[in-house]
Chains A and B, each alone.
Chain A
Amino acid sequence: MKKKGIISLIACGAIAVGATLGMTACKSNKGITVWASQDEQETLKKMIAQFQEANPDFDTPINTGVVGAGDAVSKLSTDATVGADVYCYANDQLVELINYSALAPIPDTTVAKLKEENDANSVEAGLFNGKYYGYPYAADNGYFLYYNKSIMTEEDAGSLDTLLAKCEAEGKYFIYNMPEAWYTGAFFLGTGENCVGGTYTVEYEAKVVSKSYTNFGEKVSGSDYTIAQVGTQAMIELNKNSYFVSGDDKTISDYLNGNGKVTKFGACISGTWNAETIQKKLGDGYAATKLPKFHSTLTNKDYQMGSLTGYKLFGVNPNSKHLAEAHQLAAFLSGEQMQELRFNDLQTGPSNKKVAQLDAVKQNIALSALVAQAPYATMQGAFPGSYWDAMKGLGGNVQGLKPTITTVTVSDTDLSMTDALKKFIKDFETGMDE
């Protein structure tokens, strides 16, 4: 009896293994694979169908995989040879991907065409050591201000102080992710009109960062205070306000929902991925614009907040067995028509000049806010870890008012503060000789 039981148990196992084998074996490994996030799959399949329609003699089968632009690096770092033939990546991952031998350079003739059709910066985003490595398709990897139109006007939203005053009057909140390095730079970076004038420079030598530095130690034009002091002081002032909340996307969701009936959302700094959520909750109150100006209590002047901005590109894997076809497909997927389709389906901000001029794109509230912020934005290249650590450290210090920053007056007489900021500036530097 028992013996039979065990034998049938093993038999069941064998059948199950067989079934799994059968299930997987019928799928062939041949062809080109394209990666995109789950969110983009439907649109990607439409695009591939259009590609096959436009190129009837293209007989290599095309498969899709679920790896978004943010995850491409981690997947390819394990083993670039089995990665997708064509995949999306954010331009700040460029150097890392090149280091993993996961990006193939684009033929010169194609580059000329890309430059002609796309925003100049977006093509430059794929440039490394004189070669271009990406087909740009999105120019929306940045942040700007969302605000609740029902409690403030666009003019109110142009100044951080007025914005906070309006929030206070209505019992609503302003959300900004202070200790998240990507956002912290808003108080320092930016060379556009009225910005504090901070810059960050990274230099490469044969695929590794050889030098990186900031000018945060220099004086803000027309004042006795450094960029680091002005920015930090403004952060400290903001942090004192009880209608300011430091938090991530989840916090934004929290305040949008409020108590379930009335929203507590006044304004927030975020990117296009939150547009739909905020619009749904605020309805007629939904609005977006460039980041506000902050008032410096040190120099008694207003400064425009800066931001970081990046692009998304299609990369081609040099390990691809169908390299020429992969380039052909990537070029198609990043083309004008496909960017238009992508905008219609996913509200992706296009890098293509013609698509950017479409009425529908211009009327998109979030994307036009991004365009308005563009003059004050700093292009986010492959920043080394030291940048993110330094920013995150300062943001966290200000937010928690840790011992290193105990006072709200930043001046040269306050030694501990000066030291903290000196260290802050120093932290950005790699490979600099004294």
Chain B
Amino acid sequence: MTKKFRSKKAAERGANAAIYIILVIISVIWLFPFFFLVIQSLRGEEGASTMYFWPQQWTFDNYIGLFTDTDKFNFPRWYGITLVISVVVTLIQTTIVLITSYALSRLRFKMRKPLMNLMLVLGMFPGFMSMTAVYFILKLVGLTQNMGLVGLILVYVASSCMGYYICKGFFDTIPKSLDEAARIDGANRQTVFFKIILPLAKPIIIYTILTAFMAPWGEYMFASLIVNGDPDNFNIAVGLWEMLNRETINEYFTRFCAASVVVSIPITILFFCLQRYYVQGVTGGSVKG
């Protein structure tokens, strides 16, 4: 009886090689658009597009122009506005989500189940369906146009408590006995939340912050509707769209690419700093969702 056995190590190595090749191919496909954007943003020649890939002249002028040549396209202002909106939204939304999740995870009250069901059903409606209605309500209250930024923030945080699922799932994994011990020692609900739950929930706080920040950062539809053409209140997406008009695209396309790269910086930084929490947050919350 001669039966050939491949060693386990060799088999593993073969499988790993195959997996890595697939992963490399996928990551190249994924990263290529971003790579293309970076290359285009460093192109010195004007024009909306070129037939060749590598630029003939390399330059940083597109980036410099973005921040110095602000007469026509005031990028720094749009950047600032979007940053303010995103930061404010992040703060409010994170607070709301944490509070909601805590309440739904730890407290038992009569409307708990109906409330959760209601939120589930409401969550099924796509937000943009109600866009026109929301717009007219905001207009009625006077939160469009010049007050557009406040209106926008309101729109972005409006339904944020409905994003409690993952966070509540995470809270559920923290043993209840910790709460009970603290309660026996005389802590009230608030103390339990701040002193017991929050320190244990770092990953999920980070996760909430990240998702809350990203939503308004690149948002176009509501922003365009609510500011209604007032260039002082444009956010990045609305402002950059103006660069792509048929009159300006040839001159400004490379600068548009540079702007897109700059736009991705804060999110990249956030991710790099908070990455290890992010994975914990996503997976931790799903254990008991």
> How far is B229's CA from A83's CA once the two chains are assembled, in angstroms?
9
Q: Is the CB of B49 within 8 A of A65?
A: no
Interface string of A245-285 (1 = CB under 8 A from B): 00001100111111111001000000001101100110000
Residues from chain B with a CB closer than 8 A to the CB of A25 are 146-147
Q: Is the CB of B233 within 8 A of A24?
A: yes
Q: Is the CB of A38 within 8 A of B49?
A: no
Closest to B232 in A: A27
Q: Is the CB of B92 within 8 A of A13?
A: yes
Interface residues of A in 37-91 (CB under 8 A from B): 37-39, 41-42, 64-68, 70, 75, 78-79, 82-84
For the complex, is B56 an interface residue (Cβ under 8 Å from A)?
yes
> How far is B247's CA from A66's CA once the two chains are assembled, in angstroms?
14
Q: Is the CB of A65 within 8 A of B228?
A: yes
Given A27-B146, A250-B48, A261-B56, also A82-B195 (CB < 8 A) = no
- Interface centre among A9, A37, A39, by most chain B C-beta atoms within 10 angstroms, is A39
> How far is B228's CA from A249's CA once the two chains are assembled, in angstroms?
27
Residues from chain B with a CB closer than 8 A to the CB of A39 are 72, 245, 247-248
Q: How many residues of B contact A (CB 8 A)?
A: 53
Residues from chain B with a CB closer than 8 A to the CB of A257 are 45, 47, 50-52
For the complex, is B149 an interface residue (Cβ under 8 Å from A)?
yes
Residues from chain A with a CB closer than 8 A to the CB of B144 are 82
For the complex, is A3 an interface residue (Cβ under 8 Å from B)?
yes
For the complex, is B4 an interface residue (Cβ under 8 Å from A)?
no
> How far is B46's CA from A9's CA once the two chains are assembled, in angstroms?
45
Q: Is the CB of A254 within 8 A of B49?
A: yes
Residues from chain B with a CB closer than 8 A to the CB of A281 are 47
For the complex, is B163 an interface residue (Cβ under 8 Å from A)?
no
Q: Is the CB of B47 within 8 A of A37?
A: no
For the complex, is B135 an interface residue (Cβ under 8 Å from A)?
yes
Interface SS of chain A: helix
> How far is B50's CA from A290's CA once the two chains are assembled, in angstroms?
27
Q: Is the CB of B139 within 8 A of A82?
A: yes
Q: Is the CB of B245 within 8 A of A38?
A: yes
For the complex, is B12 an interface residue (Cβ under 8 Å from A)?
no
Interface residues of B in 10-46 (CB under 8 A from A): 45-46
For the complex, is B88 an interface residue (Cβ under 8 Å from A)?
yes
Question: Smallest distance from the beta carbon of A374 to chain B beta carbons, Å?
Answer: 21
Residues from chain A with a CB closer than 8 A to the CB of B48 are 249-250, 253
Q: Is the CB of B228 within 8 A of A82?
A: yes
Q: Is the CB of A78 within 8 A of B135?
A: yes
Residues from chain B with a CB closer than 8 A to the CB of A21 are 147, 150
Q: Is the CB of A13 within 8 A of B88?
A: yes
For the complex, is B199 an interface residue (Cβ under 8 Å from A)?
yes
For the complex, is B95 an interface residue (Cβ under 8 Å from A)?
yes
Interface residues of B in 45-87 (CB under 8 A from A): 45-52, 55-56, 71-73, 84-85, 87
Q: Is the CB of A273 within 8 A of B247?
A: yes
For the complex, is B242 an interface residue (Cβ under 8 Å from A)?
yes
Residues from chain B with a CB closer than 8 A to the CB of A2 are 194-195, 198-199
Question: Smallest distance from the beta carbon of B259 to chain A beta carbons, Å?
Answer: 14
> How far is B251's CA from A259's CA once the two chains are assembled, in angstroms?
19
B229's contact among A19, A27, A75, A276, by CB below 8 Å, is which? A75
Question: Smallest distance from the beta carbon of A72 to chain B beta carbons, Å?
Answer: 9
Size bracket, chain A contacts: 35 or more
Residues from chain B with a CB closer than 8 A to the CB of A242 are none
Q: Is the CB of B245 within 8 A of A24?
A: no
Question: Smallest distance from the beta carbon of A66 to chain B beta carbons, Å?
Answer: 4
Closest to A15 in B: B88
Given A6-B194, A10-B95, also A20-B146 (CB < 8 A) = no
Interface string of A140-184 (1 = CB under 8 A from B): 000000000000000000000000000000000000000000000
B132's contact among A13, A17, A78, A84, by CB below 8 Å, is which? A78
Residues from chain B with a CB closer than 8 A to the CB of A256 are 47
Residues from chain B with a CB closer than 8 A to the CB of A67 are 228-229
For the complex, is A29 an interface residue (Cβ under 8 Å from B)?
yes
Q: Is the CB of A16 within 8 A of B56?
A: no
Closest to B148 in A: A24
Closest to A3 in B: B194
For the complex, is A137 an interface residue (Cβ under 8 Å from B)?
no
Q: Is the CB of A17 within 8 A of B247?
A: no
For the complex, is A120 an interface residue (Cβ under 8 Å from B)?
no
> How far is B177's CA from A413's CA once the two chains are assembled, in angstroms?
89
Q: Is the CB of B73 within 8 A of A38?
A: yes
- Interchain residue pairs A-B with the least CB separation, the first 6: A65-B229, A260-B56, A13-B91, A67-B229, A253-B47, A253-B48
Can you add 9 more A-B contacts, CB < 8 Å, to A259-B52, A264-B51, A280-B46? A2-B195, A10-B95, A65-B231, A79-B135, A84-B229, A249-B249, A258-B51, A260-B56, A277-B47
Which residues of B pack against A, CB within 8 Å? 45-52, 55-56, 71-73, 84-85, 87-88, 91-92, 95, 132, 135-136, 139, 144-150, 153, 194-195, 198-199, 225, 228-234, 242-243, 245-251
